[in-house]
Structure 1
Amino acid sequence: MRLFLALVPPPELRRRLGELADLAHARCGGRRMPDESLHLTLAFLGEVAEEPADAVASWVRTLAVTPGRWRLDHWGRFRRPGIVWLGASRTDTALQALHGRLWDGLEHRGLTGRPDSFVPHITLLRRADTLETDGLPDVRLDWTYNQLELIHSITDDRGARYVSLARSGTP
């Protein structure tokens, strides 16, 4: 199963991010991410067999996430594969530390794939026709978080959808 660890925005922030995704889509085209799919990926695990996935889910339930606040104030883009995203103009040391802590735990459990770098972001568009974000509105949103989720990405004839398998700090 295809898995990742993520922070999931609360409903009001997710709604606001969806509005910004609409604006970005009107300007840049491409495929807009559905509101229910908006998240911040902390660790992409890729394909994981059932037994290690169960072990990761059990581990995630034992984790305590230090409460934090992430300031979203920067439009960004990745040329390949044409992604337009929203993130922070400054490095967030708390998110960087959480990312590193998660990968330390994952590697301890035999999972690999730690990336060379980590750019916290929320993907709003994929395969954008243009990556020109000038003219999009200034953004200043605060996201208070205290929990992460292990998410199963399922692709079928209805497209991609995400199912939460475990949340941190839940027995």
Structure 2
Amino acid sequence: MRLFLALEPPEALRERLGELAHMAHARCGGRRMPDESLHLTLAFLGEVEAAQAAVLVDWVNRLAVPPGEWRLNAWGRFQRPGIVWVGSQAPDTALAALHRRLWSQLEELGITGRPSRYVPHVTLLRRAERLETEGLSVPALTWRYHRLELIQSITDARGSHYVSLAHSSER
């Protein structure tokens, strides 16, 4: 099963992110991410066997995540896959530290694949026809978070959708 660790936005923020996705789609084209799919990936785990997934569910359920606040105030893009996203103008030290901590613990659990670079972002579009975010109104959002989720990505006849398997406790 295909798994990742993510922060899920509160509903009001998810709606605002959806508005940004709509605005970006009107400018850039491509495939707009559905509102219910908007999230911040902390660690992409890829394909995981069922036994390892059970270990991860137990680990995430016992995990405590310190509360934090992430400011989304910039548009971004990844050229090659045609992704348009929102994130921060400056590196977020708390998210970077959480990302490092999670990967250290994941590696102790036998999970590999830590990326060499981590750019916190929320993907709004995939396969954008134009990567022209200049002139779009600058986002000014605050995301208060206090837990993460272990999410399974499922692709079937309906397309891709996500199922939460576990969530961390609140500190």
TM-score normalised according to structure 2 size? 0.98
Question: In the aligned structure 2, how far is the partner of 1:70 from the partner of 1:139?
Answer: 12
Question: In the aligned structure 2, how far is the partner of 1:80 from the partner of 1:161?
Answer: 23
Task: Find the counterpart in structure 2 of residue 106 from structure 1.
Answer: 106
1:34 corresponds to 2:10: no
Alignment RMSD: 0.7
1:6 corresponds to 2:3: no
Aligned residue identity for 2:89:
S
Q: Secondary structure at the match of 1:133?
A: coil
Q: CA deviation at 1:60?
A: 0.4
Q: Secondary structure at the match of 2:142?
A: strand
Task: Find the counterpart in structure 2 of residue 71 from structure 1.
Answer: 71
Question: In the aligned structure 1, how far is the partner of 2:169 from the partner of 2:51?
Answer: 21
Superposition pairs of residues 1-171 of structure 1, within 5 angstroms: 1-169=1-169
Aligned residue identity for 1:45:
L
Query: Which blocks of at least 5 consecutive residues in structure 2 are unaligned?
Result: none
Q: CA deviation at 1:142?
A: 0.3
Query: Which blocks of at least 5 consecutive residues in structure 1 are unaligned?
Result: none
Q: Secondary structure at the match of 1:107?
A: helix
Question: In the aligned structure 1, how far is the partner of 2:48 from the partner of 2:11?
Answer: 29
Aligned residue identity for 2:152:
H
Aligned residue identity for 1:21:
A
Q: CA deviation at 1:148?
A: 0.1
Aligned residue identity for 1:43:
A
Q: Secondary structure at the match of 2:14?
A: helix
Q: CA deviation at 1:98?
A: 0.3
Regions of 4+ moved over 6 Å: none
Report Cα offsets for 1:24-67 as digits up to 9, x if no partner.
00000000000000000000000000000010110001111100
TM-score normalised according to structure 1 size? 0.98
